[in-house]
Amino acid sequence: MNFWTTARIFIMSALIYFTTAEAKGEDDVCKTADCMRLGLELSDAINASADPCDDFYDYVCKKWKNKTNIPPYLPSYGHLWLIREEVAKKINETLRYKQIKLQNQSFEDKIVMAYNSCMNGADELHQLNSTLKTFGIDKWPMMLNSNETVNWTDIYRKIRIEGDMSFIFSINLKPYFYNTSQRAISIEKYEMVPPPDYSSKNFLQAYKKFITETVILFSRIAENEATVIAQNILDFELNLTKKLDDLSGLPDTGDFDIYSKNVTLVYEYDEY
């Protein structure tokens, strides 16, 4: 390659670089007031008098920690917690002052009514029951010694479609594993409350107490009966979670961790 060829390539490269840089202009990322304010707070938290190579924690955290009061009800605190609190306040303001319809209410209207009744502390149980009736839950559906048949699939369908909430398993529309140009309905395990190792007894006892109090709240039955129902629910969740450990009756699923990711498996059901 001669001198003039090299010179031409250099000049053209320089022209392309400066043209691209000029066309891009000023970076317009994070121009909102909240984003810029958070950026200033993060910058102000830096302890410029400390050398990050000597003490990185002092450089990044100490100045912010000295001027920030950590709430006593939190194990830790940081900018993410601060942002969550601000978002919660904005949601509170939005729901508190939102106008709702008294007739032909949407699910959103019912949620706002339930939220306001809980915040005001008056008639909250009535509003919660009203919201549950939207899903076909007129009363606690698992009463002991009851001859009434409850179709749980109808309740699940209404909650999943009208409330956009998932439990037991989640349903999503994702690219098909074997042909990503197509879509497929994916049914995946949902994160159950009992931990996979079943070892945290204090955790399970607290969860059982929560279920018991919830059953009493909505059914107003005796505590001993509610405790039996709570134990049945807890046993159901534990057994459902443990089923993931027992895949011996299914075809070879390969080497994967069932607790860390969801896997799509295709079986030839004619063989079973």
Final residue before a domain boundary, out of 115, 134, 153: 134
For residues 87 and 122, membership in a common domain is answered with yes
Write down which residue in 119, 134, 149 finishes a domain: 134
Tell me the β-bridge partners of 164.
none
In the predicted model, is pLDDT for residue 49 greater than 80?
Answer: yes
Output 130-134 pairs: Cβ under 8 A, ≥24 positions apart.
Answer: 132/218, 134/107, 134/110, 134/158, 134/162
Whether residue 228 lies inside any domain: the answer is no
84 plus 124 within the same structural domain: yes
Does residue 124 share a domain with residue 96?
A: yes
Torsion angle of C-alpha atoms 165, 171, 172, 176, degrees rounded to 10: 180
Number of domains in the chain: 2
- Do 101 and 63 sit in the same domain of this protein? no
Residues 52 and 95 in one domain: no
pLDDT reported for residue 6? 46
Bigger pLDDT: 225 or 141?
225
The verdict on residue 116 lying in a domain is yes
- Would you place residue 7 in the very low, low, confident or very high pLDDT band (cuts 50, 70, 90)? very low
Whether the pLDDT of residue 199 is over 70: the answer is: no
Distance CA 112, CA 130 (A): 12
In sequence order, the 6+-apart residues with CB closer than 8 A to the CB of 188 are: 169, 170, 172, 262
Domain that holds residue 99: 77-134
Same domain, 88 and 57: no
pLDDT in tens, 116-149: 766 665 566 676 777 777 777 766 655 556 666 6
> What's the whole-number average pLDDT of the chain?
70
Q: What is the pLDDT of residue 191?
A: 63
Give me the residues paired with residue 115 across strands: none
